[in-house]
Amino acid sequence: MKKKLISYFRTLKTSITTYSVFISLLATLTVTSATLPQSLEPEGQTEEKMTDQQKILSWQGEKVVLLGPPYGDSDEWWYGLRYKECVFRLDKPEQSLPMEEYAGKTGTVIGFERRQETDPLNHVVIQLDDSNEKILVCPTTGDAGEPVGFFTEMSYAETLIGQSFWAIGQLTLYPDHRASRRGTPIKVANTSKLTVTRAEWGGLGGPIILYFNTEEGKEGYLRSNRSLVDRFSIRQRAAESFYTPYTSHFYTKDPRELFPGWSETIWKIIRKGHVAVGMSLEMAKVACAKDLRETGFVLLEGGEDAATLYKCSNWTGTKRFRVEKDKVVEYREN
């Protein structure tokens, strides 16, 4: 009995240690211990546990808008082609509908049907507000992105207005997502503060566009931002598509509050994306943002300890450095 108890507690200790290591790695990957605000996560969000078919059936009664191509996209014809493969008349399911006539129309999900017997999933039946016409929409359009936007997702997006985030790495904003050309890009330095100013409908591939104000008072949108809660596309789990735009691009808390003891000189180097000898490993991680990885180890004298080699490939170029006892002791740029 005594041996069994000892074995049990050893196993328990190992499990706790493993969990602690996992949590530490997760914090390292996101480069911050700050978590997303509760207001970002819709109540009752359980779609990641649903099957694809269950997820589709959960859309009953949802208010939606039909999306067009991304504004200013040179491949508009391609999106139109994909649209024709996805949006059909209910009474004549073999007849596709033109994007230029239907983009921007709103409606309600009222049911589900298979357009063809061979379809693996139900199509969604949407009744349009302006004409009461009923149409069939496929649950995903592959690389073209989602053919509809959900008004519930827009509601979530609007709760972010006025909230601040801080850039992980250098970001590029653009002035107007409706413009035929992107306009002059707005560069945002690493760890800079951005405040959400508005949310607007986008197009296929990015249903909701968020606009931000920079510290200098310039407004722009993040082009790589996808939908907030991508419930219409079943290519990703909902949790992934929801969190990715924020965990990969932003801190949700001011890094200066997360690391209050760092000097202004250190922060100036970090904002530029550089690493300096004498920095702690944590400082180097924040400077490199998402683009840092271990490349090897070097045994120190006596062989009882080892230095860790890192490679940082960010917007400033590739740099390599060596860390001993949590300090950068050697640094070079390729």
Last residue of a domain, one of 186, 216, 251: 251
DSSP labels, 157-190: HHTTTT-EEEESS-EEEES-TTSSS--S-EEE-T
**And the tokens for 293?**
């990885």
pLDDT computed for residue 70 by the predictor: 66
Whether 176 is covered by a domain: the verdict is yes
Q: Verify that 139 and 52 share a domain, yes or no.
A: yes
Can you say how many angstroms the Cα of residue 86 is from the centroid of all Cα atoms in its chain? 25
pLDDT computed for residue 43 by the predictor: 44
pLDDT computed for residue 229 by the predictor: 42
DSSP labels, 249-308: TEESS-HHHHSTT--HHHHHHHHTT---TT-BHHHHHHHHTT-EEEEEEEEPTTSS-EEE
Backbone angles phi, psi at 171, to 5 degrees: -115, 160
Q: What is the DSSP code (8-state) at residue 47?
A: G
Encoded amino acid at 161, one letter: I
Q: Which of 333, 189, 171, 168 is nearest to 272 (CA)?
A: 189
Whether 39 is covered by a domain: the verdict is no
Whether 32 is covered by a domain: the verdict is no
Percent of the chain clearing pLDDT 70 (strictly above): 68
Q: Verify that 159 and 129 share a domain, yes or no.
A: no
Q: Verify that 129 and 218 share a domain, yes or no.
A: no
Confidence band of 21 (pLDDT split at 50, 70, 90): very low
CA torsion through residues 298, 30, 281, 189, sign = positive
Whether 123 is covered by a domain: the verdict is yes
pLDDT surpassing 50 at residue 167: yes
Identify the bridge partners of residue 220 per DSSP, sorted by sequence position: 212
Host domain of residue 283: 259-334
pLDDT surpassing 80 at residue 226: no
pLDDT surpassing 80 at residue 268: yes
Q: pLDDT digit string (tens) for 130-145?
A: 999 999 888 764 444 5
pLDDT computed for residue 216 by the predictor: 95
- CATH code assigned at 333: 3.30.1450.10
Residue 310 or 206, more confident: 310
**And the tokens for 39?**
């207001």
pLDDT surpassing 90 at residue 210: no
Q: Verify that 77 and 125 share a domain, yes or no.
A: yes
Q: How many whole angstroms separate alpha carbon 314 and alpha carbon 312? A: 6
Last residue of a domain, one of 93, 127, 149: 149
Q: Which long-range contacts (CB under 8 A, 24 or more apart) does 22-31 make?
A: 28/285, 30/247, 31/168, 31/251, 31/285, 31/286, 31/289, 31/290
CB-based contact 280:263 (threshold 8 Å): no
3-state secondary structure of 206: strand
Confidence band of 93 (pLDDT split at 50, 70, 90): confident
Which range, of 193-207, 213-227, 303-317, averages the lowest pLDDT? 213-227
Q: Verify that 97 and 157 share a domain, yes or no.
A: no
DSSP labels, 22-34: HHHHHHHHHT-SP
Q: Verify that 266 and 196 share a domain, yes or no.
A: no
Mean pLDDT (whole number) for 281-306: 90
Q: Verify that 243 and 167 share a domain, yes or no.
A: yes
Percent of the chain clearing pLDDT 90 (strictly above): 35
Q: pLDDT digit string (tens) for 64-76?
A: 999 877 655 545 5
Whether 329 is covered by a domain: the verdict is yes
Looking up tokens 């170029």, which residue turns up?
317
Residue 265 or 74, more confident: 265
Backbone angles phi, psi at 247, to 5 degrees: -70, -25
Q: Verify that 157 and 247 share a domain, yes or no.
A: yes
pLDDT surpassing 90 at residue 149: no
Q: How many whole angstroms separate alpha carbon 229 and alpha carbon 232? A: 9
The pTM for the full model equals 0.74
Mean pLDDT (whole number) for 197-206: 82
Containing 42, the helix (H) or strand (E) segment is none
pLDDT computed for residue 25 by the predictor: 29
Residue 39 or 91, more confident: 91
Mean pLDDT (whole number) for 37-45: 41
Whether 23 is covered by a domain: the verdict is no
Whether 120 is covered by a domain: the verdict is yes
Q: Verify that 215 and 165 share a domain, yes or no.
A: yes
Last residue of a domain, one of 220, 251, 282: 251
pLDDT computed for residue 279 by the predictor: 96
Number of domains in the chain: 3
Q: Verify that 214 and 275 share a domain, yes or no.
A: no
pLDDT computed for residue 286 by the predictor: 95
Q: How many whole angstroms separate alpha carbon 159 and alpha carbon 170? A: 25
